[in-house]
Amino acid sequence: MNVKRYFAPTAREALRALKEELGPEAIVLSNRAVEGGVEIVALPGDAIGALQAAASRPKASPAPRPSAPVQMRAYQQPVAAPSPAPAAVEDDFRVSLSDLVANAKAAHSASQPRPPSGPVIRPFNPPRVDAVAVTSSADVRERSRSDAGAAEALAQSMASRAAAEAAAEARVRELQETNARLMEELTGIRGMIERQLAGFAWGDTRRHAPSRATVMGELLEAGFSADSSRRLAEVVGDSATPDEARAAVRKALDGLLRSRSCDDDVIDRGGVYALVGPTGVGKTTTTAKLAARCVVRHGASRIALITTDGYRIGAQEQLRIYGRILGVPVFAVRDGAELRQTLAGLKDKHMVLIDTMGMSQRDRLVPEQVSMLKNAGDVRRLLLLNATCRGDTLDDVVRAYRGPDLAGCIFTKVDEAASLAPALDVAIRRKLDIRYLTNGQRVPEDLHLPNRAYLLHRAMREQSNESPWQLHDDEAGMMLAAAGAGA
């Protein structure tokens, strides 16, 4: 018989080599663990036919023992007389036959007639053993050591990567800090250069156009922004006298003002107006003044008042008192839905005035209030500006309340302001229509239409020589330089 031996580190590799050479019908005679791996002994698949032919022929003498070192258990056992005990075999010797070979053998035995006499050949059918990898303890230990080494290498790689990432992040932070310091230094250098250049320009202006420099200083003293002061002073000629320079600037201001000298856009035309602005600017009192003027012209039955101020204590009651005095109905609403419903029932009114809740221009509720009024219908807003505030504060207020539905502004507390220049400066730069001026608490006497001559006079009034706000020498140039550096 053509017995083949296969040796490999693992049983799986030995079985793979066996199948490649002998095919899937090969007969495995034994497999055992040897030094350095596993040994498998097998026969080709066609050897079973020769084995069955030899078993069917009567034997005259006992079959000689195979000379090969592979020993097998008794493969043929006669029935008539017991055969001598087989030679001792190794404990780990096992024979495995495939199911296909066993079925072929059984079919062949059934097709052949049984001989009348002689020994009965019974096939040896060991329990079916699946071809699984036979792994020795040494192989297990080697694989464990290999897995442990791989895990350790992976851990080292991850640690190295984490260290590299941490170093990269530290480097990025260092570069960012360095860039921030460089930008700060460059900004400082730029400011110094701009101030120096502004000083040179101011000195050149004072030499070549002294009246222009004088009127520019007066505009800064009054409260106009540096940008507006420069733009207005550009209309002054180089050879103009101080009076001619002031007249030229006043004319330029008058052309830029967007003031209304009649009530055609508010009282006479009517509509729905909401008075908005910061807390304490005088919205409720101004609402009552507008309502009183409308009652005088169109009657109490043609006007209605609405309040959305449910936060300030006594705000609704204050407006209700004005309503009872004027004979005008007052409605209180809590949200946008109630406001839309109330306005739908007041469509027949000539004018509806809405007194809103005052809030800081930096309050996050300001956009919500703007959205509520916008979604309520055809509502136009009138922004109230406190004339006593600084220009940058007023500019911040306009920026927060701006929108396409803003119908103009109303200057309040004009009697308390030292100058109207900051308010006029914001109205000009933001292109706001000035609708009214208020200068007291009396209803409705202290509500006035904007008078251009009065506004220009209050805006360009000169400071007295004793005033600490008067600019001297090159102080106006320093202010312009500081404003330019800030921009």
Whether residue 459 contacts residue 420, with contact meaning beta carbons closer than 8 Å, is answered with yes
140-163 residues labelled b (16+ CB within 10 A) or e (exposed): eeeeeeeeeeeeeeeeeeeeeeee
Whether residue 308 contacts residue 370, with contact meaning beta carbons closer than 8 Å, is answered with no
Cα–Cα distance measured from residue 346 to residue 351, given in angstroms and rounded to the nearest whole number: 9
pLDDT at position 385 is 93
Three-state secondary structure readout of 101-131: HHHHHHHHHHHCCCCCCCCCCCCCCCCCCCC
pLDDT by residue, tens only, the chain of 487 residues: 578 888 888 888 888 888 888 888 888 888 888 888 888 888 887 777 666 666 566 554 444 454 444 333 433 444 444 444 433 333 333 444 445 445 545 545 555 555 444 444 455 454 454 444 444 556 666 776 777 778 888 888 888 888 888 889 898 988 998 999 888 888 878 767 766 666 555 556 656 677 887 888 788 888 888 888 888 888 888 787 888 888 888 888 888 888 766 656 688 888 899 999 898 888 889 999 999 999 988 888 999 999 887 666 666 788 888 889 999 999 988 888 888 889 988 888 999 999 988 888 888 888 888 888 888 888 899 999 999 988 889 999 999 888 888 888 999 999 888 888 899 999 999 989 899 999 888 888 889 888 888 888 888 877 666 666 666 555 555 566 555 544 4
pLDDT at position 96 is 44
Name all domains of the chain by residue range, CATH numbers in brackets.
Answer: 4-59+68-135 (no CATH), 260-449 (3.40.50.300)
Q: What is the dihedral of CA 184, 189, 194, 196, to 10 degrees?
A: 150
pLDDT tens digits, residue range 98-122?
454 455 455 455 555 554 444 444 5
Spatial strand order of the sheet with 27-34 comes to 4-8, 37-43, 27-34
Chain centroid to CA 367: how far?
Answer: 21
195-228 residues labelled b (16+ CB within 10 A) or e (exposed): beebeeebeebbeebbbbbbbbbbbbbbbbbbeb
Chain centroid to CA 434: how far?
Answer: 41
